[in-house]
Amino acid sequence: MSAVAIAPAVMDELADIVGPAHVLSDPEITAGYAIDWTRRFAGSTPLVVRPGDTAETAAVMGVLAAAHVAVVPQGGNTGLVGGSVPLAGEAVLSMRRLAACEPVDELASQVTLGAGVTLTDAQAHVAASGLSVGVDLAARESATVGGMVATNAGGINVLRYGAMRAQVVGIEAVLANGTVVSHLAGLEKDNTGYDLGSLLAGSEGTLGIITRVRLRLHPTQPERATALLAFRTAADAVSAAAALRRSVASLHALEAVFDGAMALVSEHLGVTPPVGTLGDGAAWLVAEAAARTDPSDELGAAVAELDDLLVDAAVALDPGSRQRLWAFRENVTEAISAAGIPHKLDVTLPAARLAEFTDGVADVIRAVDRDARPLLFGHLGDGNVHVNVLGPGGSEPAQEVDGAVLHYVAELGGSISAEHGIGTAKLSQLHLNRSEAELAAFGAIKRALDPAGLLNPNVLLP
Ligand code: FAD
Ligand code: MLT
Ligand code: ZN
């Protein structure tokens, strides 16, 4: 949909609040805010506003609400479900300038960060205190703390620390009418009513604009051992993942790359995997242990116990060698994006149905689009599989692929969104996981906080 014109008086009011340099309307400049990372979702916008702090965000929302202008909040624009871009001519509220890092509270092991702080900057800020952010993901250089809370981002360490919601001990947000709600004390025990941080986590910009977040931090585990493990079949990798979860107390990440995705990322990187053979339905795990003292014996002993399941293993201890193993997992998304515009289906399966799914999903996809190319990878330790699907020559696959995979997931008792959210991409499938009563409750919450429906109106709620 083309961008809706905004009255000059409204533009002037906004410029008075944030400064003219932060009210953008030149289509050449705003175009970059209107297309998502995958290039699958693109729209246009009449206006990008870049507030610098909470007070400016509140004042901007007051003006936009009075003018009945719908808004898409945007952080690093690395979201993968089309939720961060204006698809129906909405204004974009870019939160990247809220980039203040407050001093680390070492007594509490917590920190308060502006919503626009990138994950890389957050990690660097807390590192000197011997502390770490509990969520890590490959988009760390661009993804913002606000966006990560809004999507309840997962990433590679969920099996140890939980997803983003589990890190939030305090939140500040601006509601649709410009009201500021702030609860940032970070008290570990605080049963004084509804938990707005939990509610806003995973709300995908539909309930409020997150301006500051107080995060729980974790002691850094500096000693690391990383293994790349090769298996003959996806089912063997799934069984091995379950065994490693049971036996490695210091397990920090347990990731998977299945055959098609491994072939693609290897070609993209120009290197073959050091273990295993491409092209025969094989699968790989990246297992990382992290502790205060060297965890390599613990990981090594657990790997040795995998016996017949395992074809071969490469273990790395120093940062450079570990990074070379991680490259086969961390660069999959980039490799797929270089090959075309995928449909990204991010799902969780119950442990008991995981192998059945990884074995069966390619047939489900090819039954509706025989030319589609399924590429599987993900956070296997959490039961989270990323099913990416490309069409011939890197084109998009048939739209029916999405429904077929998500129905299959629901039939097996899984979740149609593990960590990326619903966005616009999965809006029409939310009923597969949520009952009418739940959706009615979601609608009631939305109407209470955003009665005019101005915040991300085309996201999450059908
Ligand atoms: P955006 O993309 O800008 O926005 C995402 C959503 O949050 C939108 O709905 C938007 O409206 C809303 N939003 C943004 N900021 C705010 C705010 N301040 N207040 C209210 N709403 C807001 N995700 C994972 O979970 N795990 C991964 O392992 C992972 N790896 C990735 C790897 C790559 C290479 C890429 C490109 C993406 C990856 N992602 C992953 C997806 C993405 O990085 C996350 O969803 C991230 O949390 C988005 O943060 P962002 O700042 O870019 O948010
Ligand atoms: C990942 O785990 O690499 C991300 O969630 C990105 C993706 O799904 O492509
Ligand atoms: Zn992921």
Ligand that lies nearest to the alpha carbon of residue 332, given by its number in the listed order: 2
From residue 379, alpha-carbon distances to 159, 255, 286, 340, 451 in Å are 9, 5, 10, 22, 37
CATH topology of domain 340-421: Alpha-Beta Plaits (3.30.70)
Is the beta carbon of 72 within 6 A of some atom in ligand 1? yes
CATH of region 8-97: 3.30.43.10
In sequence order, what are the residues at sequence separation of 6 or more whose Cβ sits closer than 8 angstroms to the Cβ of residue 138? Answer: 155, 330, 333
Q: Is 140 in the pocket of ligand 2 (CB under 6 A)?
A: no
AA identity, residue 9: A
Mutating to test ligand 2, I would choose from 37, 136, 137, 384 the residue with most ligand atoms within 8 A of its C-beta, which is 137
User: What is the C-alpha separation between 170 and 377, in angstroms, rounded?
Assistant: 33
Count the helices and strands in the chain (H runs, E runs).
15, 16
Q: Which ranges in the chain are annotated with CATH 3.30.43.10?
A: 8-97
CA distance 320 to 280: 29
Ligand nearest to the CA of 387: 2
Cα 328 to ligand 2 centre (Å): 13
Going 332 to 334 to 338 to 342, the CA torsion angle's sign is: positive
The span from the first CA to the last CA of the chain, in angstroms, equals 18
Pocket residue to mutate for ligand 2, from 152, 344, 386, 387, most atoms within 8 A of Cβ: 386
Range list for CATH 3.30.70.2740 in the chain:
340-421
Confirm or reject: Cβ of 138 under 6 Å from ligand 1: yes
Ligand 1 site, residue 143, Cβ cutoff 6 A = yes
Q: Which of 36, 80, 140, 376 has the most ligand 2 atoms within 8 A of CB, as the residue to mutate? A: 80
The Cα–Cα gap between 396 and 369 comes to 11
Distance between CA atoms of residues 436 and 34, nearest Å: 32
In eight-state DSSP terms, residue 83 is -
Q: Is 420 in the pocket of ligand 1 (CB under 6 A)?
A: yes
- Nearest one of 286, 292, 363, 358 to 323, comparing CA atoms: 286
Cβ of 450 less than 6 Å from ligand 1: no
Please return the burial class of 431, using the count of CB atoms within 10 Å of its CB with bins 0-12, 13-18 and 19+. Answer: middle
- For 262, other C-beta atoms within 10 Å of its C-beta total 27
Count of CA atoms in the C-beta half-sphere (13 A) of 56? 18
CB-based contact 276:204 (threshold 8 Å): no
d(CA 150, CA 122): 16
CB of 382 closer than 6 A to ligand 2?
no
**How, if at all, do strands 48-49 and 91-94 pair?**
parallel
> What distance in Å separates the CA atoms of residue 415 and residue 346, rounded to the nearest whole number?
9
Question: Is the CB–ligand 2 distance for residue 346 below 6 Å?
Answer: yes
pLDDT at position 279 is: 85
Which residues have C-beta within 8 Å of that of residue 165, sequence separation ≥ 6?
149, 152, 197, 198, 201, 202
pLDDT of residue 4: 67
CATH numeric code, 110-219:
3.30.465.10
Q: Give bridge partners of residue 101 from the DSSP assignment.
A: 113
Ligand 3 mean position, distance from CA 189 (Å): 31
Give the Å distance between the CA of 26 and the centre of ligand 1: 25
Q: Using CA positions, which residue lies closest to atom 3 of ligand 2? A: 333
Ligand 1 mutation target, pool 151, 180, 329, most atoms within 8 A of CB = 151
Residue 122's SS3 state is helix
pLDDT tens across the length of the chain (462 residues): 455 689 999 999 999 999 999 999 999 999 999 999 999 999 999 999 999 999 999 999 999 999 999 999 999 999 999 999 999 999 999 999 999 999 999 999 999 999 999 999 999 999 999 999 999 999 999 999 999 999 999 999 999 999 999 999 999 999 999 999 999 999 999 999 999 999 999 999 999 999 999 999 999 999 999 999 999 999 999 999 999 999 999 999 999 999 999 999 999 999 999 999 998 899 999 999 999 999 999 999 999 999 889 999 999 999 999 999 999 999 999 999 999 999 999 999 999 999 999 999 999 999 999 999 999 999 999 999 999 999 999 999 999 999 999 999 999 999 999 999 999 999 999 999 999 999 999 999 999 999 999 999 999 998
**CA-CA-CA-CA torsion for 192, 198, 204, 205, nearest 10 degrees?**
20
CA pair distance 392, 26, nearest whole angstrom: 36
146 Cβ closer than 6 Å to some ligand 1 atom: yes
Region(s) of the chain under CATH 3.30.70.2190: 223-334
Provide the residue type at 221 as one letter: Q
DSSP 380: G
Ligand 2 atom at minimum distance from 329 CA = 3
Whole-prediction pTM: 0.98
Residues written for the chain: 462
What architecture does CATH give domain 223-334?
A: 2-Layer Sandwich (3.30)
SS3 97: coil
Residue nearest to atom 8 of ligand 2 (CA): 386
Ligand 3 centroid–CA 355 distance in Å is 18
Q: What is the CA radius of gyration of the chain?
A: 22
Tell me, in angstroms, the distance from the centre of ligand 1 to residue 78's CA.
Answer: 5
Give the pair of three-digit tokens for residue 142: 């661009």
CA distances from 219 to 101, 138, 290, 314 (A): 19, 21, 11, 27
CATH 3.30.465.10, the chain: domain bounds: 110-219
Spatial distance between the Cα atoms of 127 and 113, rounded to a whole number of angstroms = 14
Alpha carbon of 451 to ligand 3 centroid (Å):
33
Q: Are strands 251-258 and 71-74 parallel, antiparallel or unpaired?
A: unpaired
**DSSP state, residue 455:** B
The strand ranges marked E within 122-162 are 131-133
